[in-house]
Structure 1
Amino acid sequence: MNKLYSVLKYLGYFALLYILAGAGINGAIFPFAVGLFLSLVWCGEKCYILAPLFIAATLLHGFSVPALISSSFTALSILLITGIHYKLKKQVKLSLYFVYALISQIGFVFSEVYFNSAVLTTFLSVVGSVLFMQCCNQIFSAILVRGFAYKLSSLEIISACVLLGAISCGLTAYNFWGFELIKLFAVFMVLFSAYTFNVSATLVVGITMGLGSLLFANNPELLAPFSLFSLTAVTFKSKYKFIPALALIAVDLCLGYFVGVYYSYSYISVIPCVLAAATFLFIPNRILENVSGVISSNSNSVAMRNVVNRSREGLTRRLYNLSEVFGEMDYVFRSMIKGGMSKEEVKEILLGEIKEKVCADCKEKNYCHRVCQAETEKVLSELVNCALERGRTTLLDVPSHLTSRCSRVSNLVSVINNLTAQYKQYASFMNNLDASRVLIAEQLSGVSKIMKNLAGEVNKNVIFDAGRENTLIDELTYNNIVCADAVIYEQNTDVTSATLVVRNEDAEKVKIPSIVSKVCGNKMVVADSVASSRSGYRVLTLKTAPKYDVIFGSSSCTKEGSEKSGDCFSLIRIENDKFMFALCDGMGSGEKAEKASSLAIGLIENFYKAGFDNDIILSSVNKLLSLNREEVFSALDICVMDLKQGIADFIKMGAPNSFIKHESEISMVESGALPLGIVQDAPPAINKTVLSTGDYVFLCTDGITDSFESNEKLKEFINNLKATNPQTLAETLVEKAVENSGGSAGDDMTVLVAKIFEKA
């Protein structure tokens, strides 16, 4: 099957070469066959097959010594050049190929000047062949490389029109006793275009073929008829194909017999129209529909884009409904929280249990609880208080007047201790159960908010920009970047997005963001790059770049004698315009501290990536760590930068002070709050700061801050640093901290430095 396809393909190339060999502008300038041959070689077709086909097509059209010399020299020189590049495994650049194209026509120049003394027409033929080669490069690259599944750029459409005009010019040369091949070709193409292209494209096809015929003999005889053919076809187009076919034949008869447009007309002259119409009628409707479907899929479908927005509306409703579901689940879990009893309520219950277990069958019961009720109640209450506060009570806590009259003092103390221990165990269980319910409720509330925010984002209609899409494809094509498709859309006035389908070898080209930025009118950056469903292509997503960007530096030093550092840090991009860097210092040093800080950082990273709010993230992480049976304490220092507005949120839980180095001064972000994992409901210390371009943010663990005598000394040292590279700044600060500690780290030391700068 592949072999048959290859044979048919090269037969088609030969037919095109033969037609274009006779396509001359006013019978004097012949640039088209050479240009087509050079273009096919450039587009990767086999030169060793095309070379003899080109020579044969040229000589079959009109054998002569100049034709033999010129065609042979062109074919053999290109064959030699491509062979050398293939042997050296070096790809031919387009600029160099233009030079080769000119060199390959030295034989043509020599033969024309020597035999015919045609200097001007020879010059125009050479220049025209190179220009036509570039036109063919555009259209053949689009078809052979991208295929028909993607829309053509404006430049490629113009190139296709030039090729169609050249073919029409060549076919005009063939007139057999009134049977014109150009009319056969034109009628078929007009009918085919009417059922596969839109109205304007069909009109352009007819006019282009008329202009091609005009080039051949400087005769406009066919320009008006072909234009009228197109207009007739689109006017009479219906589901019955024979109607426009008959209409075209009728128009041709009227123009020939009654209007007298043609110089000569006979019954033979109408045969090409009849044959073309008959051929078109034999094409199954299914094929026309498939071709039309492929071509129309390349157009800017308003309906398709409307479907996108309608789908977003449906998705918005579902997201809002899901948000309500998670909100209700949050309410249900919060309503299940029992809460703890007051101390007085606990004492009352415990006192009742004590009386039941110790005094129920005692013969002195009436005396103790009736005669001496107030005194007995006071003693028992004090003993229960003692057990609740200290964990247990002893015989020494029992007053002497009770010991003298009660024979069950030892049993009383034992029962009080057992009951308070049971209560504490129960209270701990209930507290943990309530904490778990609160934790789940907070997560459900967070998911509900995320769903609601997503619904708000999706609810905004996407505004597509078809005009800029075509301009973008043209610009990329001009820069030798094959773009199969492009979509530009806006969700709001601040953010523009562009999605491109480009070849794998073009996906990494640095020109792409600058070209997209030029077309979109603002700075664009690549936000995502994924493999396309079509082999050999990637899908690039570019978005409006935030005003600022950030670079980082980090440096660490493990405590002397410790195998692992208890410090852990993270640098992640949360969104296109938000960056988070966090520093976590686990309690102590070594493997246990490292595990604690890694656990906290991992949780925080994932929560932020999921889109949860700061309050929910820190509250949830704190509760999760405090539920751990082991004492897992971690100092947490987070900075979230909004690169669009230049605002930084500092979130601290037990972390030391942070510092912001400005151009001429330094400011301090003070620490606060308890570390993670100590108290479940400990709130974080949050500070919001506006940053300027050139500011440096320093996050340090206590190993760094404790090595300096005071915060003022640390501020002074940072302020006097002259380096501009964040990595150098981080390393210098760690080195100074180690030096202050006597040459060895007394604690784990870590520094993160971030520099914010305005994008050019």
Structure 2
Amino acid sequence: MERVEYRTFKKTDIPKVKKTIHWKEIFLGTTYKDLFIDLLGFMISRVILFTNLLPLSIAYFAAGLHTKANRMWLLLFSAAGVLSVRDSTLSSKYIGAFILMIMLQHFMETKGYTPTKIVQAVMAMIACFVMGMVTAGIHGFAGYYLIVAILESIFVFTAAYIYGSAISCMRGPLKRTILSNEEIISLILIFGTAIAGIIDFSISGIYFREVVSILLVLLFGFIGGPSIGGTIGIVIGTILTLIGVMPAVSIGILGISGMIAGLFKEIGRVGSGIGFLLGQVIISFYFEGTAITYDFLKPILAAIILFLSLPAGIITLIKQFINYEPNLGQEVYYKRIRDITAQQLEAFSNAFLKLSKTFSNISKKKTSLNQRDVSMLIEDVASRVCQDCGLCSHCWESDFYNTYQTVFSILSAAERKSRIDVNDIPQDFIEKCLKVDVFVDTTNRMFELYKLNLLWHNRIVESRELVSEQLRGVSSIIGNLAVEVYGQVYFKEELEQAIKVELDRENIVVSDVMVVSNRQNKYEVVIEHSPCRGKRICTKNIVPVVSQILGRKMKLAGSGCAGLNGKENCKLKLIEEEKYRIMTGVAKESKDSSSISGDTYSFMEIKNGQYLLALSDGMGSGNKASEESGAAIELLEEFMESGFDKDLAIKMINSVLVLKSNEEFFSTLDMTIIDLYTGVAEFVKIGAASAFLKRGDTVEIIGSSSLPVGMLNNVDIDMTKKKLKDGDIIIMVTDGVLDSKKDIIEKEKWFSEVLKGLDITQPEYIAEYLLNIAKENSEKEIEDDMTVLVAKVWEKYS
């Protein structure tokens, strides 16, 4: 329950209480919430316990005394409830307790104190004890009345404290959806006792109070499950037993029936209704041994009909308050961690983007000398040539304007011609200047130096632009990662439970099962089980079971057995098996049969069920070409394996190769990315030779007109998408293969005819066959590196 408040009185600054009562405030200042509380007070005041006592009336009245405007109404409703079940003589004890509590409350408020919940419970206990002693005095202080006064006052204290939480909750905002355990228990008790005080009546032998009781058990069992249904059944059964409406055996019958109704909730309302009915019939027959008659079934059937007729909005509203999910706390915790991580990643992404913009805006390329450069160049030439000249003051002081304009025109001529000679100097300047030859040499030397500075300035700007592009790429990657983290992941609890049950039937001890559905609507399953010591139960038993339950073919995400040592649990990750598979074959030959080839290739399975085929041809041949193409392929493998977008990966590779050296080296890049789930292939080409798609007797040419990577800061990408079919063959080659046929212009068409005539299907044999044809075309001299990469697509299941 709620923690005890040690300061039993709280000092408040309130105005002095008015001595007069405004009747308008009493009748018009009451809200609909207060009227609902008053109505509950009327019903609870009618509940008779222990044959002749009404302690709940005092407890409820004490808990509802907070609102001044509602006290008179609460007094009237509570007194009416007491008088409706007892005559005026017996009811005077409880009405007197009501009036005594109002006086105590009023007295404390005039002193500036607002009683807390526990103080109101104490007030109720005092009022009950005082009126109990008055009643005992009337009867000569008989021992029975003294014991009743003590026990009833203790009972009132407990009930008033419990009711206080429920009334505070009812007076609070209606939009609340999260209640504390104390509030839930208090509300259950307050509504349960209110049901007991309903003015009972019957229609065709169906009693209203019995129908409402069954309806509540059904409703809460359907919403909250077996635990809530059983609890409500026991509470209502206990209250109805205490007031003498039902026998004690009804407590167990209602509790078990509510639990069964909760167990059948997955079937729907009809399932819960049938479950409750079966529970009532079977348990009643077992405990009481009586025949099941129509009179017995009438209230149950009436409650089930009302339950089925309830609007869905009411059930949804109640679900917000009492529906309890045991894993919700952990899921909320993971969501918060995910949100914090995503926010951090977004902040990093924005920081890198701002840094990229800073590098991009920090300086611009210059195509020629600007005014500032020319002025500085003139000053440098003048300081070197004219500083020690006797006519310096005449030229640069007395005749400054003409001298400056003449030197400026000479520099303009130098910019046009790269170098100047005496013929480019105006005649009047030659006649006045004593160091014409020195001036010409110095101007040419300084101008070359300035042009070199301009070149390096532009190189630095290019480097900054490339770094800016890389930082923008990093920002994009982190931003995409933030989106992935934010992406909704759906936990499939029902599938997790089904997998646990089925594996248990297979005698596989499982400690944890997690089933998630990712953004691509693909299942991922993580299972932790006892080590099998190399028996491979993961592939023999677990994978078939999971595939059957999920209705999708699953496979292990990794290889090898994690449970060989028998000490730690084996943790498996299962992913959906791809629909397509790839078989590859490669054949290559170096220029002049050298041991080093400038061509580099790769094929590998990457994330999200994709397969990468890559081929790069470095410019020329030998070590340098091998290094360039090898760097391109190595970077591509790393970027694609890390989950980079292909366009971004290519831009990053291009910027790295541009910055790699000052020499003019570049590489082609030929990529094919195949989605093994859908069979869609993306052919990406940057300066690469044409690729070929062979389907039966037809061959399709996939060409490119873009420049290789590493040549320019910005790279053009040619991309083509194709839907592959079972048996399709992809052939990727470098220029050395196509250029081996020197006597024709349309080399792709020639190669297509060769492919059409193929009657072999093994990729390795196809690659060797095509390379041998290229070598035969070259006769004895191979002028360029040759590589053939072949991949065959086949469908595992349809």
> In 2, Cα distance between the equivalents of 1:437 and 1:534?
55
Shift of 1:497: 1.0
- Alpha-carbon distance in 2 for matches of 1:484, 1:752: 46
Q: Which amino acid aligns with 1:464?
A: F
Structure-2 change in CA distance of 1:604 and 1:418 (3 Å): farther
CA distance in 1, matches of 2:617, 2:364: 35
CA pair 754-300 structure 1, distance change in 2 beyond 3 A: farther
Aligned residue in 2 for 1:421: 448
Per-residue deviation at 1:488?
1.2
Are the aligned partners of 1:577 and 1:643 in contact in 2 as well (CA < 8 Å)? yes
* 1:552 corresponds to: 584
Query: How far off its partner does 1:557 sit?
Result: 1.5
2:608 corresponding residue in structure 1:
576
Q: Deviations over 1:547-582 (max 9, x none)?
A: 433332222112224221111112233312222221
The answer to whether residue 529 in structure 2 is matched with residue 499 in structure 1 is no
Residue 416 (structure 1) shift: 3.3
Change (3 A) 1:344 1:437: closer
| Match status 1:739 vs 2:769 | no
What are the within-5 Å matches in structure 2 for residues 211-360 of structure 1? 301-340=327-366, 342-343=368-369, 345=371, 350=377, 353-354=380-381, 357-358=384-385
Aligned CA RMSD, in angstroms, stands at: 4.3
Give the distance between the partners of 1:386 and 1:545, measured in 2 at CA.
69
Contact 2:406–2:429 (Cα < 8 Å) also in 1:
no
Partner of 1:485: 512
| 1:562 lines up with 2:594 in the alignment | yes
Q: What code does the residue aligned with 2:599 have? A: D
**d(CA) in 1 for partners of 2:519, 2:402:** 83
**Structure 1, residues 435-465: CA drift from partner, whole Å, max 9, x if none?**
3333333333223222222222222333222
The more displaced of 742-751 and 727-736 is 742-751
Q: Report the Cα offset of residue 301 of structure 1.
A: 4.0
Task: Report the Cα offset of residue 643 of structure 1.
Answer: 3.2
State the partner residue of 1:725. 762
- The CA deviation at 1:376 is 6.4
Return the offset for 1:515. Answer: 3.3
How far apart are the structure 2 equivalents of 1:562 and 1:413? 54
What residue number does 1:687 align with? 720
Q: 1:319 to 1:357 in 2, by over 3 A?
A: same
1:598 corresponding residue in structure 2: 630
Give the whole-Å Cα distance in 2 for the aligned partners of 1:362 and 1:659: 79
Matches within 5 A, 1:152-171: none
Q: Structure 1's 355 and 703: CA in aligned 2 closer, same or farther, altered over 3 A?
A: same
Higher relative contact order, structure no. (Cα contacts within 8 Å, ≥ 6 residues apart): 1
Aligned to 1:137: none
- Alignment CA distance shift 1:302-1:733 (3 Å): same
Q: Secondary structure at the match of 2:363?
A: coil
Task: Confirm or deny: 8 A CA contact 1:587 1:632 kept in the other structure.
Answer: yes
Q: Alpha carbons of 1:548 and 1:428: their partners in 2 closer, same or farther (altered >3 Å)?
A: farther
Q: Is the 8 A contact 1:466 1:488 kept in 2?
A: yes
TM-score normalized with structure 2 length: 0.52
1:381 aligns with 2:412: yes
- 1:336-366 deviation line (CA, Å, top 9, x unaligned): 2343354555566545644554456474958
Kindly tell me: are residues 359 and 528 of structure 1, through their superposed partners in 2, closer, same or farther at Cα, counting changes over 3 Å? same
What percent identity do the matched residue pairs reach?
30
Does the 8 Å contact 2:339/2:486 carry over to 1? yes
Alpha-carbon distance in structure 2 between the residues aligned to 1:415 and 1:534:
84
- Shift in alpha-carbon separation, 1:561–1:339, aligned structure 2, 3 A: same
- Report the Cα distance in structure 2 between the residues aligned to 1:466 and 1:616, rounded to whole angstroms: 37
Q: Deviations over 1:695-717 (max 9, x none)?
A: 22222111111113422111111
Secondary structure in structure 2 of the residue aligned to 1:576 = helix
1:472–1:515 CA contact under 8 A, matched in 2: yes
Q: Secondary structure at the match of 1:550?
A: strand
Aligned partners of 1:435, 1:558: CA distance in 2, in Å? 35
Q: Does 1:518 align with 2:548?
A: yes
Aligned mates of 2:489, 2:583 — CA distance in 1: 32
The answer to whether the Cα contact below 8 Å between 1:309 and 1:462 also exists between their aligned partners in 2 is no
* Map of 1:639 onto structure 2: 672
Equivalent-residue separation in structure 1 for 2:423 and 2:588 (angstroms):
55
Query: Is the Cα contact below 8 Å between 2:600 and 2:626 reproduced in 1?
Result: yes
Does 1:454 find its partner at 2:485? no
Deviations 1:135-178 (A, max 9, x none): xxxxxxxxxxxxxxxxxxxxxxxxxxxxxxxxxxxxxxxxxxxx
Q: Normalised by the size of structure 1, how large is the TM-score?
A: 0.55
**Matched residue type, 1:470:** Q
Q: Aligned-pair distance for 1:513?
A: 3.8
Query: Aligned partners of 1:396 and 1:603: how far apart in 2?
Result: 55
Task: Report if aligned partners of 2:422, 2:437 keep a CA contact under 8 Å in 1.
Answer: no
Q: Alignment partner for residue 681 of structure 2, among 638, 648, 657? A: 648
Cα distance in 1 for residues equivalent to 2:737 and 2:381? 56
* 3-state SS in 2 of match to 1:565: coil
| TM superposition shift of 1:371 | 6.7
Aligned partner of residue 319 in structure 1, secondary structure: helix
Distance in 2 between residues matched to 1:646 and 1:351, nearest whole Å: 68
Q: Aligned letter for 2:573?
A: T
Tell me which residue corresponds to 1:20: none
Structure 2 SS opposite 1:620: helix
Structure 2 unmatched ranges of 5 or more: 1-224, 231-248, 260-286, 290-324
Size of the aligned set, in residue pairs, is 477
Secondary structure of the residue aligned to 1:331 is helix
Aligned equivalents of 1:723, 1:561: Cα separation in 2: 27
Structure 1 residues 311, 404: CA separation in 2 closer, same or farther (over 3 Å shift)? closer
Contact 2:473–2:652, Cα closer than 8 Å, also in 1: no
Is 1:661 the counterpart of 2:688? The answer is no
SS in 2 for 1:457: helix
Cα displacement string for residues 482-534 of structure 1 (whole angstroms, at most 9, x for unaligned residues): 54432212134621111122435326625644432221122323224684898
Which letter maps to 1:430?
H
Indicate the SS of the match to 2:707: coil
1:707 is the counterpart of 2:737: no
CA contact (8 A) 1:567 1:750 kept: yes
The aligned counterpart of 1:622 is 654
The Cα of 1:728 is off from its aligned counterpart by 2.0
Q: 2:384 and 2:630 mapped to 1: Cα distance?
A: 50
Distance change (3 Å), C-alpha of 1:493 and 1:701: closer
Instruction: Tell me the secondary structure at the aligned position of residue 794 of structure 2.
Output: strand
Counterpart of 2:596, as a letter, is K
- Partner residue in 1 for 2:709: 676
The equivalent of 1:437 in structure 2 is: 464
1:708–1:641: structure 2 CA closer, same or farther, 3 Å change rule?
same
Q: Where do 1:36-55 residues align within 5 Å? A: none
SS of equivalent residue, structure 2 residue 668: strand
1:317 CA displacement: 2.8
- Matched to 2:795, the amino acid is E
**Contact in 1 for aligned 2:413/2:424 (Cα 8 Å):** no
Q: Residue 382 and residue 448 in structure 1: after superposition, are their counterparts in 2 closer, same or farther (change >3 A)?
A: same
Quote the Cα distance in structure 2 between the aligned partners of 1:701 and 1:402.
Answer: 65
Q: Once the 2 structures are TM-superposed, how far is the Cα of residue 584 of structure 1 from its aligned partner?
A: 1.3
Q: Which amino acid letter does the alignment assign opposite residue 755 of structure 2?
A: I
Aligned partner letter, 1:334: S
Is this contact kept in 1: 2:543–2:554, CA < 8 A? yes
The 1:372–1:468 alpha-carbon spacing in structure 2 relative to 1, beyond 3 Å, is closer
The 1-side partners of 2:566 and 2:341 are apart by: 27
Q: 1:659 to 1:466 in 2, by over 3 A?
A: same
